[in-house]
């Protein structure tokens, strides 16, 4: 397997986020065929990277004869791992192909939304106060299948159980019902 030129492939990370920095160090120890640099030191415009999106999802920049290609999130991680040795190449390939890519997308989104809660994180790791919009499951599935109208279903990210306050209220109500059962005739 031919290793790509390190200058031609770059994985960028948010150096202000402790969790992202620890993750970048872990990736460096894998000795991948990719340069790993902080977002803050890169000329994002020259690289063709969307700065706002790069603060939410890790970007992977590939420069070649046909131009610049930028991928984000789980695709960026999979692409970076695919530049490594045989074991890491396989992990990267799996992250880029269904059905593992479907799980990787959901896993990456979960980690990105909660990176301020993970080991090594700081308050700088928080993204948009948790109010970012996510594609609905049907919207993602349609987009992946290339159907018309794909990716148009947006909703606010929320737990299927509701907010923490709603969960506490339901718990109190069920405790009251158990302690005061309604007599049936």
pLDDT in tens, 129-174: 544 444 444 455 545 555 454 444 444 444 455 566 666 666 667 6
| pLDDT given for residue 150 in this prediction | 46
Residues 6+ apart with CB under 8 A from 71: 59, 60, 62, 79
CA dihedral 38, 39, 42, 45 (to 10 degrees): 160
Confidence band of 178 (pLDDT split at 50, 70, 90): low
Taking CA atoms, 2 is separated from 6, 21, 45, 82, 83, in Å, by: 12, 28, 29, 11, 9
Is residue 126 exposed (0-12), middle (13-18) or buried (19+ Cβ within 10 Å)? middle
In degrees, rounded to 5, the angle at the alpha carbon of residue 127 between the alpha carbons of residues 40 and 130 is 175
Instruction: Give the whole-angstrom CA distance, residue 110 versus residue 90.
Output: 23
**Which residues are within 8 A (CB) of 36 and not within 5 positions of it... i.e. 6 or more apart?**
10, 11, 13, 24, 27, 28, 80
Is this structure's pTM higher than 0.85? no
DSSP 82-114: TTS-HHHHHHHHHHHSTTHHHHHHHHHHHHHHT
pLDDT single digits (tens) 42-58 = 999 989 999 999 989 99
């Amino acid at each position: 397997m031919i290793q790509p030129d390190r200058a031609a492939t770059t994985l960028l990370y948010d150096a202000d986020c402790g969790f992202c920095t620890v993750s970048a160090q872990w990736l460096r120890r894998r000795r991948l065929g990719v340069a790993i640099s902080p977002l803050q030191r890169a000329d994002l415009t020259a690289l063709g990277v969307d700065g706002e999106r790069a603060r939410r999802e890790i970007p992977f920049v590939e420069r070649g004869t046909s131009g610049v290609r930028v991928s984000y999130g789980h695709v960026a991680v999979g692409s970076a791992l695919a530049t490594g040795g045989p074991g890491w190449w396989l992990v990267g390939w799996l992250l880029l192909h269904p059905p593992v890519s479907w799980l990787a997308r959901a896993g990456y989104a979960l980690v990105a939304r909660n990176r301020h809660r993970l080991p090594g994180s700081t308050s700088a790791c928080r993204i948009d106060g948790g109010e970012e919009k996510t594609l609905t499951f049907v919207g993602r599935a349609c987009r992946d299948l290339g159907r018309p109208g794909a990716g148009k279903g947006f909703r606010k990210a929320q737990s299927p159980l509701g907010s923490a306050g709603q969960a506490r209220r339901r718990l109190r109500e069920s405790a009251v019902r158990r302690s005061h059962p309604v007599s049936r005739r």
